[in-house]
Amino acid sequence: MNRLSIIIPVYYNAESLPDLYAELTRVEAELIARDCELELIFVDDGSGDDSFLRLAHIKEQRPETRVVRLTRNFGSVHASKAGMALVTGDCFAVFPADLQDPPSLVLEMLEKWRSGSKFVLCARTKRGDPVASQLWSRIYYKLLRAMVVPDYPAGGYDVALMDRALLPYLVNSSKNVNTPLFAYWLGFRPVIIPYERRPRVHGRSRWTFSKRVKFFIDSLLGFSVAPIRFISLIGLVVSLLSVFYGFVIVVNAARGVAPVRGFPTVVALMAFLLGLVILMLGIIGEYLWRVFDELNKRPESVIDEIL
């Protein structure tokens, strides 16, 4: 019998947890009928509502469920990785707790995995999100495809079933990394299952604009050299323009057209040197920050207790 591990990060999802557990119970019955047992790992990512109490109740109903409580909110990526460290299954998947991505998808993904696919993902074809969220997502994924992974799903994905072979790479990856993008970047050829994302019914999204921007920056800087090269390009353009400006100054000086003697030369040199400074600081600063962030040994998340 195979074992499938499902990791569910929880953050202010008290309202959706009862319905989520009911759906997971139906999925588990289907899995058992297919000779596959289910390992459930919930990770409470510092929720300020009754999420942990609901999870404790689920633990009472299903004693083999594992519930992890983090000391504070570390973000869904780090909460997912905290759950991955406890995985014992032959394959695993991460599911959001808001029920917009139906848990029943795992049944189809399991069959693809059993057919030999180590990486099965569910790509969104339609989103039931607000217009502003859809617009941001469209821009984000277009930039991601342009700068990082050209064949990344156009609508992105949140749900994927992965073979245990991928687990060590994800658990030991950098703390400033987009794990779905990293899993795709590993190079395992994905089998893609299209689906329509449900509208949100319970609560409101905690995926704020600032979190989206941070996630976007981590995705670009963690996988692409394009931002550094863009900064370098700015410095190069400024330097070239200053050279052109210097040439104009020399020509004007030779013609005797110089309103203030020495001033144009100083301005040209300053523009050129500032362009070089932007170029060098952009490169050095980015590399130094990433080296520092990896070497300071801060934990990605801190576990308060495990039920």
Least confident of 55-64, 65-74, 166-175: 166-175
pLDDT score for 10: 92
Q: How confident is the model at residue 7 (pLDDT cuts 50, 70, 90)?
A: very high
What is the separation of C-alpha 43 from the centre of its chain, rounded to a whole number of angstroms?
17
Q: How confident is the model at residue 151 (pLDDT cuts 50, 70, 90)?
A: confident
Tens of pLDDT, residue by residue over 33-46, are 999 999 999 999 88
Cα–Cα dist 123/137, whole Å: 13
- Look at the pTM and tell me if it is higher than 0.85: no
Q: How confident is the model at residue 234 (pLDDT cuts 50, 70, 90)?
A: confident
Q: How confident is the model at residue 63 (pLDDT cuts 50, 70, 90)?
A: very high
Q: How confident is the model at residue 145 (pLDDT cuts 50, 70, 90)?
A: confident
pLDDT score for 202: 61
Q: How confident is the model at residue 74 (pLDDT cuts 50, 70, 90)?
A: confident
Output 185 or 29, whichever has higher pLDDT.
29
pLDDT score for 260: 63
pLDDT score for 233: 77
Output 186 or 115, whichever has higher pLDDT.
115
pLDDT score for 126: 67
| Residue-averaged pLDDT of the chain | 80
Kindly report the number of other CB atoms within 10 A of residue 143's CB atom.
15
Q: Is the confidence at residue 96, as pLDDT, over 70?
A: yes
Tens of pLDDT, residue by residue over 112-127, are 999 989 999 888 776 6
Distance linking the first and last C-alpha atoms of the chain? 25
Output 76 or 57, whichever has higher pLDDT.
57
Tokens at 182, concatenated: 């990293």
SS (H, E, C) 210-245: HHHHHHHHHHHHHHCCHHHHHHHHHHHHHHHHHHHH
Cα–Cα dist 302/81, whole Å: 11
Write down how long the chain is.
307
Q: Mean pLDDT over residues 147-167, rounded?
A: 81
Percent of the chain at pLDDT > 90 equals 27
